[in-house]
Amino acid sequence: MKTKDVKITFNAMEPTEALKDYTLEKVGKFENLFTEVISAEVELTQNVHARGVDDDFRVDFNIDLPNTRVRVEEIGDNMYAIIDKGTDVLARRLKRYNEKQQKWDGKKPRKVLEAEAALKALEEDSEPDNYENYTPS
């Protein structure tokens, strides 16, 4: 998925190209994490009933992935600051998702690989026993 496919919606506020471009720029920094993304939505909302308080604006990121959904919600009084904060949290969650997928995609965990290597080293160090001339006592 590309950043141009991210759906941005504005609720209770005037849609501006500056906010849209800024959001796409911030989300675009993490485009390498969007390998398995099915759909991505960003919702920018202004709280009309409570202007001048700490929760004037709200940003919701909804990312659909196979078998799961990543949702990030940030609230604050500066739209640009909460977009920054929200994209940082989104990047952490997508990195964690990708790490977990790599761990369980048929690849063996590191501990199993280390144990197999230690077992193989033990087998190589020990010489096979020769029982050709063995006589029981």
Burial group, residue 45, by CB count within 10 angstroms (0-12, 13-18, 19+): middle
Contact by Cβ (8 Å): 8, 16: no
What local confidence, expressed as pLDDT, does residue 135 receive?
77
Q: What would the pLDDT profile of 95-114 be if each residue is shown by its tens digit?
A: 998 888 877 666 656 677 77
Domains of the chain: 3-125 (3.30.160.100)
Q: Measured between alpha carbons, how far is 88 from 95 in angstroms, rounded to an integer?
A: 11
Q: Measured between alpha carbons, how far is 86 from 74 in angstroms, rounded to an integer?
A: 6
Q: Measured between alpha carbons, how far is 46 from 56 in angstroms, rounded to an integer?
A: 6
Of 122 and 70, which is predicted with more confidence?
A: 70
Q: What would the pLDDT profile of 23-56 be if each residue is shown by its tens digit?
A: 999 998 988 888 888 999 999 998 877 666 667 8
Contacts of residue 135, defined as CB under 8 A and 6 or more positions apart, other chains included, come to: none
Mean pLDDT of 64-88: 92
